[in-house]
Amino acid sequence: MWESKVIMMNGELMPFEDARLHPLSLAVAYATTVFEGVRAYRSPESGEFAFFRLDEHIKRLQTGMKVMRFEQAYDVDFFTECLTRLVHANEPDSDVYIRLLVYIEGAGLMATTGPVGFTAAAMPRKKPKFAETGMSLGVSSWQRLSDNASPPRIKCTANYHNARLTMLQAKADGYDGALMLTPQGKVSEAPIACFFMVRDGKLITPDITSNILESITRDTIITRYKELTGLEVEERVVDRSELYFAEEAFLCGTGQEILPVTAIDRLPVGDGSVGPITEKMRQDYFNIVRGVSDVHPEWRTLI
């Protein structure tokens, strides 16, 4: 597998191991960082690489920077050009996972808003461990952050303290992953992915006011499910106990892609195997991101 050779800081390419940030930067001291995980998939036919839904990722990043009142803005074209240069410079021969982090790089006080800097890294990624077999989830006793405390729809690193505590608890308790509940006790999302379940043959996902990240993969599934079946995904409040009625479940996200969930709280989901709707959505997703299917060409930006 290829290796990351080159990283980009503030638009400049440099050897991967040379990237540096001062430990007193606000990014370290107060977690003043917003970020995106983006993928560039290689077409199995042409060998060409394409970013998947890059504009949407950059727009979410820009909104995060606005909410965090960063004093500098970057436009979509600028980041597209930077990430394109980054991918070329690394000469990958298989799919690429990109981290794009924007932060306050100077030292300062709590309300300091600049100077702003960014880092972009391109990395290979192994197929997630549970992609074929499915994974077990445990409902966490850590609550999901709420909108009025630290809004989960902003993809800022500070929010991942909550996610990490959840993940650590799940591992300690012997689960593959976790699901978080809102302070009202309703299903929210997993630490780094959104949640879908099938009940009575209908695809359901917690609505966007359930303290979730407004996931681009979630939107892809909602859009494609409608196009494939003519049915709407039910976006609604989900009770915890409904989890135990589910016939199928899966997680989704750029990094996780589509991960089947086969057990929750040590109870099997359905018959405990990967279900047909999960499989169908997963196949469809991979065909689209890799350009095997030509639907939604606007979602792919050729590199």
Task: Among 189, 248, 257, 284, indicate the residue that binds ligand PLP (CB under 6 A).
Answer: 189
Q: Which of 59, 126, 129, 155 is catalytic?
A: 155
Instruction: Decide whether 89 or 131 has the Cβ nearer to ligand PLP.
Output: 131
Q: What does the buried/exposed string (b/e) look like for 149-185 if buried means 16 or more CB atoms within 10 Å of the residue's CB?
A: eeebbbbbeebbebbebbbeebeeeebbbbbbbbeee
**100 lies in the site for ligand PLP, by CB under 6 A:** no
Q: Are 218 and 152 in contact (CB under 8 A)?
A: no
C-alpha distance from residue 294 to each of 75, 232, 290, 297 (Å): 28, 22, 10, 6
Q: Is 280 tagged catalytic?
A: no
**194 lies in the site for ligand PLP, by CB under 6 A:** yes
- Please list every residue from 209 through 248 that binds ligand PLP, using CB under 6 A: 213, 215-218
Stretch that binds ligand PLP, among 74-82, 85-93, 188-196, 267-275 (CB under 6 A): 188-196
DSSP 193: B
**98 lies in the site for ligand PLP, by CB under 6 A:** no
Instruction: Decide whether 25 or 215 has the Cβ nearer to ligand PLP.
Output: 215
Tokens of 222: 């909602």
d(CA 60, CA 215): 9
Which residues on neighbouring strands pair with residue 264, listed in sequence order?
137, 267
**140 lies in the site for ligand PLP, by CB under 6 A:** no
Task: Among 177, 206, 253, 260, indicate the residue that binds ligand PLP (CB under 6 A).
Answer: 253
- Contact set with ligand PLP (CB under 6 A): 37, 163, 189, 192-194, 213, 215-218, 253-255
